[in-house]
Amino acid sequence: MFTNRLFNLSIVVAFIVVVLLTACTSSTQSDSADRFAGTWSGTMSATDDPTLQAVAVVTIPTGCSANEICGDTINTANGCRWEMTLVSVNGEVFEYIFSKSLEGECPVSGGGTLTFNSDETLFREQKFPDFTVTGTLTRQSAQSNPADRFVGTWSGTMSFTDDANRKEDIVVSIPAGCTTGSVCGDLNNTTVSCRWEMTLGAVNGDVFVYKFSKTLSGECLALGGGTVTLQSDGTLMREHKTPDFTASGPLTRK
């Protein structure tokens, strides 16, 4: 009888130890992935053409586990967004693959790593079949909305690369509370009587990245996207790129 009790007690103790070890392991795995949770943005460069740069936005939720969906990545230059699946977290390195295309006409291929730097930024390396993109990502603050620095109505005159004599007046309106991937104001070209809806791609420091997502009025196509950059004198410098030309010029808050 006493021997049976000892045997049963040993089974109970072993079960408790297994449960505790499992819980600790799960917690450690969850916590290691959670270090990367948040919204990160930064400028990427490609190995096949270093002059081609684009702002990427990486969003990682909490509670990710290996071989499960874990956030998404947006390329603000071409409007493509991919679902990410977590492969593993190994120390300072978060390894992922693209598992699905969520927006845009971009293939689902490749994967990469996010590596913690000593300054709390992430170094991203994304490998595609034909090239690799790399760059540093900075965590976007949860306490303050970085897009709110650009709030207001701005106006100015644009110049065009396809015609040195071409000048057009625009008015840009940006509301408060914009978030990455959402509609964020509009741009009105008063010279040609066209108005477009803007979607926020990312805010990277002093640079607000956007794309035209819809034509709101006038007979103009919703083509391209660009940036508005805060200047030291409080104005904005706008650069808008389409397949055929680039429009640029300073904007002053009205």
User: Quick check: is 53 in a domain?
Assistant: yes
Domain around 162? 146-253
Query: 45 and 129: one domain?
Result: yes
Query: 40 and 132: one domain?
Result: yes
Query: 130 and 153: one domain?
Result: no
User: Quick check: is 99 in a domain?
Assistant: yes
Instruction: Give the phi and the psi of residue 23 in degrees, each rounded to 5.
Output: -65, -40
Of 88, 110, 139, which marks where a domain is finished? 139
Query: 39 and 76: one domain?
Result: yes
Query: 70 and 116: one domain?
Result: yes
CA distance linking residue 174 with residue 203, whole number of Å:
13
Residue 83 confidence (pLDDT): 92
Kindly give the confidence (pLDDT) of every residue in the chain, 254 residues in length, as a single tens digit, with 9 standing for 90 and above. Answer: 444 444 444 443 444 333 344 433 333 344 588 999 988 888 899 888 877 788 888 989 889 999 999 999 988 777 788 999 999 999 999 999 999 988 777 888 889 999 999 999 999 999 988 889 999 998 876 556 788 888 889 999 999 999 999 999 999 999 888 888 899 999 999 999 999 999 999 988 889 999 999 999 999 999 999 999 998 888 999 999 999 999 999 999 87
User: Quick check: is 93 in a domain?
Assistant: yes
Of 91, 120, 139, which marks where a domain is finished? 139
User: Quick check: is 28 in a domain?
Assistant: no
**For the chain, how many structural domains are there in total?**
2
Query: 246 and 153: one domain?
Result: yes
Question: Shortest CA distance to 145 belongs to which of 186, 175, 114?
Answer: 175
Annotate 118-168 with DSSP letters as a single string: TTS-EEEEEE-SS-EEEEEEEEPPSSS-GGGGG-EEEEEEEEETTEEEEEE
User: Quick check: is 15 in a domain?
Assistant: no
Structural contact between residues 180 and 57, judged by C-beta atoms closer than 8 angstroms: yes
Whole-model pTM: value is 0.55
User: Quick check: is 9 in a domain?
Assistant: no
Residue 31 confidence (pLDDT): 52
Query: 171 and 243: one domain?
Result: yes
Of 124, 139, 154, which marks where a domain is finished? 139
User: Quick check: is 30 in a domain?
Assistant: no
Structural contact between residues 163 and 176, judged by C-beta atoms closer than 8 angstroms: no
Query: 157 and 246: one domain?
Result: yes
User: Quick check: is 19 in a domain?
Assistant: no
Question: Shortest CA distance to 172 belongs to which of 249, 78, 77, 75?
Answer: 249
Residue 165 confidence (pLDDT): 96
Query: 170 and 118: one domain?
Result: no
CATH of the domain at 119: 2.40.128
